Amino acid sequence: MMTTETQPLNILISGSGIAGPCLAFWLHKLIPTCRITVLERSPTPRHGGQAVDLRSFSVPIVSRMGLLDQVRSKTTTEVGLQFVYADGITRATFPASGNIEAQSATSEFEVLRGDLARILMNATQSLDGITYVFDDMIESISQTGAPDNKVDVTFAHGLPPATYDLVVGADGMMSRTRRLVFGREHQHDESVRRLGQYAALFTMPRTDSDTKFAQWYNAPHGRLLLLRPDSYGTTRAYISVTDSNLSRFDKIDAAMRQGDRKAQEDWFESEFEGAGWESERCIREMKKAEDYYLQQVAQVKMERWSHGSVALLGDAAYCPSPISGVGAGSAIVGAYVLAGEVSRSQDDIPNALEQYEKVLRPYVEKAQRLIPGAPQIANPQTEWGVWTFNKLTGIASSAIMKHLGGLVGNFLPAFGGTANFPFPDYEVTTT
């Protein structure tokens, strides 16, 4: 069916975080006639969250969108990473490199997830053919198959049933679209690979002990406090527990499924008893935080990212995990490639989705490559393990090791190792 000759493509994107609006932007640029609905289950835009990085190939994509200066104006002010040792005073310091081509642990484009999402949404909300719908979600999906390759969708609240040429699930690691299309139950989704870490994320008032450096503190039993500055005069906290013994997380996993915040807080309070440094402050502020969020650290790995005319994008398809440092960047790169391949094969959406995966999968496989043993290796269980880890960070922070640190980018995605993939240059239609 020659959709491009009969009527504009009608496209539904589920999710208004980073991947969804970025995809809408590029679809509009590459196929100006298409009609796009961006669906968000939250009643309002979700602009909270912790810091995310833009690295490697995502930076020129955002630059081509004309948004890089806006992103730069919203950076978190973080100037590097410090590892805080047991005495709470001694530190190993890794300053930001100041070099886009050889970035350190702190990206030159370190920005709050909510700020980046707001920039992307603002860049698309006023464009012709793009409509945002909040407080609704997909209820069911059925496909007609060849030759039409249409997708029939019903919605849970308000929106009438509709038929689309393409449906994209950009709805996060626990994607509802993925479960509906690929038949995976929420509690038994084998595409979600647990990494043995649960984290509480929240904002708390800044104190004199907070600096412009991100501060990383390990305590025995896999406990971590990571405190980061933002541009709003507050501190973003990431407190986590890591263990290869997944039974340790039975209680917090149950509390997460039940949405029981009090039980979640009690679990973290028990786990961080006697952890030292800023742990008491963090637990106290966690209980008061309005933006508290519980996250299971995991990766999403799938044999295929599409079925018929339904595709998955970003964390829904290939979440590299927060500890990879390339989640936001991979979503942006994926959105660019998906839009580009759809623009090249508008009359055969299933083929476009196959090409999207063919082009992007090598990049994603490298992006998902973590340090061997991560995250356990950076979250030791014993006092000796913490002491050893601290010694290693001290050595690594020496001048000669910082110089050698540029080599890390050849192996680890978070330091730029995904920068050398040759992506197509999709032709932008001028109107």
Using DSSP's 3-state secondary structure scheme, residue 221 falls into coil
Instruction: Of 170-179, 239-248, 321-330, 352-361, give the lowest mean pLDDT range.
Output: 321-330
Q: Residue 42: what residue type?
A: S
Residue 3 pLDDT: 47
- Do 218 and 389 form a contact (C-beta atoms < 8 A)? yes
Q: What are the residue boundaries of the structural domains of the chain, listed by start?
A: 3-72+112-189+300-367
Q: At what angle do helices 261-271 and 279-288 cross, to 10 degrees?
A: 180
Residue type at 46 in one-letter notation: R
Report whether 367 contacts 324 (CB < 8 A): yes
Contacts of 413 (CB under 8 A, 6+ apart): 55, 56, 320, 324, 325, 326, 366, 367, 368, 369
Q: Tell me the pairing of strands 166-169 and 310-312.
A: parallel
E strand intervals along 187-278:
192-205, 214-219, 223-229, 234-242
- At residue 188, the 3 state secondary structure works out as helix
Segment 241-262, tens digit of pLDDT: 999 999 999 999 999 999 999 9
Domain 3-72+112-189+300-367, classified CATH 3.30.70.2860, yes or no: no
Q: Is the pLDDT of residue 90 over 90?
A: no
pLDDT class for 398, splitting at 50, 70, 90? confident
Angle at which helix 327-344 crosses helix 349-367, to 10 degrees, equals 160
Q: Tell me the residue length of the chain.
A: 431
Residues 80 and 82: their CA atoms lie apart, in Å, by 7
What pLDDT, in 10s, does the model give residues 202-229?
A: 999 999 999 999 999 999 999 999 999 9
pLDDT of residue 51: 85
Type and span of the H or E element at 198: strand 192-205
CA–CA distance, 279 with 287 (Å, rounded to integer): 13
The burial class, CB within 10 Å (0-12 / 13-18 / 19+), for 247 is exposed
Please report the pLDDT score of residue 399 as a whole number.
59
Instruction: State the pLDDT confidence band at 32, using cuts at 50, 70 and 90.
Output: very high
